[in-house]
């Protein structure tokens, strides 16, 4: 080929490439936003021959009233009436201004389209959040044929803007606020969500999903509806909104824990405190200390592999939740800790399975770490390193410290003549804690963990607390009854507190005894109203700035995966509004407003649509006749 011809060919090729680049750039920047494609796992049972409606609901004085359907009477479903009449059906209630329209638009999930404005690693998380939002909407669908029917719009566009796309890890200082604006433009409706971080944007998507509902009467076969207009400004009252689940007394499969996280995200809770181990079992396989699970799990199948833990942590992060792993020490450490002598490490734990158990622990079986064995601290450092690696958490760490039995140590130390060195075994407990904190710092690459949580106990009471616990880094999880002096004393001494009062926020109580001897029940049952009405910073006149938040706790002596959902929901949803919104409380009557009942009832239906099995709030007649049961 001649040089002139070659030059012409290269010029043509260059021109073609330039045109292709311009075209692709134009398509990317100005082309229509494409709908994301997801695999749906929703299972519904559509009726092939739907029966004609029996009831209609009318909005009268800001309340839906049920009426027998008569000929020529307009047909309005309860869901549509509830969304358009009276108070908002959002849960938890937003903390900022809310303006909701009084009209609705019919659409189908195929019309949903998405767009995002974010830089950095938040982009991938937003994509995942869109998928979760999409599935939440689709979970409402009760008839697969509805998408073939007419709608009021052609497109439902969801836009998400995140100012700081580099923040993809929750911290106490993370801004979780958002603003949501929903507007109709001709045959389109656009939802704009703006937030400073991904976590706020995720909450905005959750709120948007609550402005969408299934109208069983639409087009005679049902359909999805959304408010025609809405503005919501929102942000949490507390940075720590937690739920603790114990998986040591009874093992909980990973899939059941995922359901817990789904429920948490729907209620804007942000800390899953995983009490992984206890004296009964050690189900988590730790890479650096596999002997713990090998000798302490109920069976090889009832364990959590490192891969499963990391996957669950990521499952939680996308849903705006951080996972706090806890291996309680020095108490509550028995089964799983008996392999020391075989490997030349000596006794790592004492009083393991000791009888009579009532002398050495609060419930069977007993077990407590051996504070005078230096090898114990080597093992603890390995555990801490694994927990930090598996959870990715190094801003907060739960050290445990619950219910140490000094009689157990006294009996053991008598055998070694060490007991004479101590006039008060609280000093030995304090020395153990200081050594454990030092090993935690080593496990964290030499960096001090800024927020270490410990259970309230006798060591963090006067006079010991100021000797062994640093006010700047220690947070005490106060679990005693609200009438006890623990919480006000801790705040008076200048410590930060995480509230988990047993008389309000322990969800395992009220199911009777599970053994014949000793106290084995924390009766009575805590109904959702008790959970909701617990506002200790007001009731006890506490300095709110020292309270990082609250946590409900579920110990599992009397439940497993089959009753997990019912024990948690909707009571944990009631707790969620307390720590997100912190609504006012009337201390003279402790009465709960009608709209709380109706909104919580609606939220329970959402949780059920997402595959959870929450307890019923009341007879269905009460839901169909708002205000009539109060």
Dump pLDDT digits (tens) for 195-239: 999 999 999 999 999 999 999 999 999 999 999 999 999 999 999
Q: What is the structure's pLDDT at 434?
A: 98
Taking residues 587-605, report their average pLDDT.
95
What mean pLDDT is reported for the chain? 92
pLDDT-derived band at 26 (thresholds 50, 70, 90) equals very low
How confident is the model over 43-55, as pLDDT tens digits? Answer: 445 455 668 899 9
Candidate from 279-288, 408-417, 463-472, 530-539 with smallest mean pLDDT: 408-417
How confident is the model over 356-413, as pLDDT tens digits? Answer: 999 999 999 999 999 999 999 999 999 999 999 999 999 999 999 999 999 999 998 8
User: Is the pLDDT confidence value at 24 over 50?
Assistant: no
Q: What is the structure's pLDDT at 233?
A: 98
Q: In what side-by-side order are the strands of the sheet with 104-107? A: 104-107, 223-227, 212-215
How confident is the model over 253-279, as pLDDT tens digits? Answer: 999 999 999 999 999 999 999 999 999
Percent of the chain having pLDDT more than 70? 92
Q: How many CA atoms lie within 13 A of 420 on its CB side?
A: 3
Domain ranges of the chain: 59-234, 240-592
Per the CB < 8 A criterion, the answer to whether 544 and 236 are in contact is no
Percent of the chain having pLDDT more than 90? 87
- pLDDT: is 71 or 270 the higher one? 270
- CA–CA distance, 302 with 561 (Å, rounded to integer): 12
User: Is the pLDDT confidence value at 572 over 90?
Assistant: yes
Q: What is the structure's pLDDT at 48?
A: 52
Helices 425-443 + 406-416 axis angle, to 10: 100
User: Is the pLDDT confidence value at 565 over 60?
Assistant: yes
Its pTM stands at 0.92
Q: What is the structure's pLDDT at 200?
A: 98
- CA–CA distance, 456 with 267 (Å, rounded to integer): 27
User: Is the pLDDT confidence value at 25 over 60?
Assistant: no
How big, in percent rounded to 5, are the helix, strand and coil portions of the chain? Answer: 35, 20, 45
How confident is the model over 317-346, as pLDDT tens digits? Answer: 999 999 999 999 999 999 999 999 999 999
Tell whether omega for the bond before 556 is within 30 degrees of 0, i.e. cis: no
pLDDT-derived band at 13 (thresholds 50, 70, 90) equals low
Alpha helices in 217-272 (DSSP H): 254-266
CATH architecture for the domain at 59-234: 2-Layer Sandwich (3.30)
Q: What is the structure's pLDDT at 516?
A: 85
pLDDT-derived band at 9 (thresholds 50, 70, 90) equals low
Tokens (6 digits) for 552 = 């409900």
Tell whether omega for the bond before 136 is within 30 degrees of 0, i.e. cis: no
User: Is the pLDDT confidence value at 189 over 90?
Assistant: yes
Q: What is the structure's pLDDT at 30?
A: 35
User: Is the pLDDT confidence value at 17 over 60?
Assistant: no
* Sign of the torsion angle spanned by Cα atoms 94, 98, 103, 107: negative
CATH fold of 240-592: TIM Barrel (3.20.20)
Taking residues 547-561, report their average pLDDT.
98
Taking residues 151-158, report their average pLDDT.
97
Q: How many CA atoms lie within 13 A of 335 on its CB side?
A: 21
pLDDT-derived band at 130 (thresholds 50, 70, 90) equals very high
Q: What is the structure's pLDDT at 27?
A: 39
How confident is the model over 93-103, as pLDDT tens digits? Answer: 999 999 999 99
Residues acting as catalytic residues:
278, 332, 403
Per the CB < 8 A criterion, the answer to whether 533 and 539 are in contact is no
Q: What is the structure's pLDDT at 18?
A: 57
């Amino acid at each position: 080929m001649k040089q002139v011809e070659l030059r012409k060919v290269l010029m043509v090729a260059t021109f073609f490439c330039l045109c292709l680049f311009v075209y692709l750039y134009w398509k990317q920047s100005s082309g229509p936003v494409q709908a994301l494609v997801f695999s749906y796992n929703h299972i519904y049972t559509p009726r092939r021959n739907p029966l004609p409606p029996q009831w209609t609901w009318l909005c009268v004085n800001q309340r839906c009233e049920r009426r027998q359907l008569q000929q020529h009477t307009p047909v309005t479903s309860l869901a549509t009436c509830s969304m358009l009449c009276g108070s908002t059906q959002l849960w938890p209630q937003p903390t900022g201004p809310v303006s909701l329209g009084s009209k609705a638009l019919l659409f189908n999930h195929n019309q949903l389209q998405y767009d995002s404005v974010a830089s950095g690693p938040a982009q991938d998380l937003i994509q995942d959040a869109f998928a979760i939002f999409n599935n939440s909407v689709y979970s409402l669908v009760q008839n697969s044929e509805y998408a073939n029917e007419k709608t009021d719009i052609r497109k439902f566009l969801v836009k998400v803007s995140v100012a700081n796309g580099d923040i993809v890890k929750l911290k106490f200082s993370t801004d979780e606020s958002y603003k949501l604006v929903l507007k109709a433009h001709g045959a389109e409706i656009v939802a704009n969500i703006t937030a400073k971080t991904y976590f706020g944007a995720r909450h905005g998507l959750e709120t948007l999903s609550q402005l969408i509902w299934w109208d069983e009467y639409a087009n005679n076969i049902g359909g999805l509806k959304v408010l025609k207009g809405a503005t919501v400004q929102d942000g949490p009252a507390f940075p720590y909104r937690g739920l603790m689940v114990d998986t040591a007394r009874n093992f909980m499969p990973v899939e059941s824990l995922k359901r817990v996280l789904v429920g948490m995200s729907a209620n804007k809770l942000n800390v899953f405190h995983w009490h992984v181990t206890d004296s009964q079992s050690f189900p988590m396989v730790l890479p650096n200390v596999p002997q713990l699970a090998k000798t302490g799990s109920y069976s090889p199948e009832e364990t959590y592999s490192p891969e499963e833990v990391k996957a669950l942590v990521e499952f939680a992060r996308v849903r705006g939740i951080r996972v706090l792993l806890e291996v309680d020490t020095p108490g509550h450490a028995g089964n799983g800790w008996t392999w020391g002598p075989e490997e030349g490490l000596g006794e790592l734990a004492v009083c393991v399975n000791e009888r009579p158990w009532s002398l050495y622990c609060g419930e069977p079986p007993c077990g407590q770490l051996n504070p005078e064995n230096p090898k114990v601290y080597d093992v603890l450092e390995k555990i801490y390193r694994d927990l930090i690696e598996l959870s990715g958490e190094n801003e907060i760490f739960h050290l445990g410290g619950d219910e140490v039995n000094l009689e157990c140590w006294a009996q053991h130390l008598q055998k070694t003549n060490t007991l004479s060195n101590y006039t008060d075994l609280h000093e030995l407990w304090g020395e153990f804690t200081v050594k454990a904190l030092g090993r935690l710092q080593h496990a964290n690459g030499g960096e001090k963990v800024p927020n270490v949580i410990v259970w309230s106990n006798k060591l963090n009471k006067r006079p010991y607390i100021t000797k062994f616990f640093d006010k700047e880094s220690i947070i005490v999880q106060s679990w005693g009854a609200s009438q006890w002096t623990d919480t006000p004393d801790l705040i008076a001494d200048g410590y930060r507190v995480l509230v988990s009062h047993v008389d309000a926020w322990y969800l395992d109580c009220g199911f009777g005894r599970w053994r014949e001897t000793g106290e084995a029940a924390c009766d009575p049952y805590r109904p959702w109203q008790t959970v909701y009405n617990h506002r200790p910073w007001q009731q006890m006149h506490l300095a709110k700035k020292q309270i990082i938040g609250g946590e409900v706790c579920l110990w599992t002596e009397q439940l497993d995966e089959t009753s997990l959902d019912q024990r948690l929901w909707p009571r944990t949803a009631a707790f969620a509004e307390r720590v997100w919104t912190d609504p006012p409380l009337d201390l003279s009557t402790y009465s709960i407003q009608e709209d709380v009942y109706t909104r919580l009832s609606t939220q329970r239906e959402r949780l059920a649509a997402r595959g959870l099995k929450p307890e019923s709030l009341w007879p269905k007649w009460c839901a169909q006749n708002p205000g009539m049961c109060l």
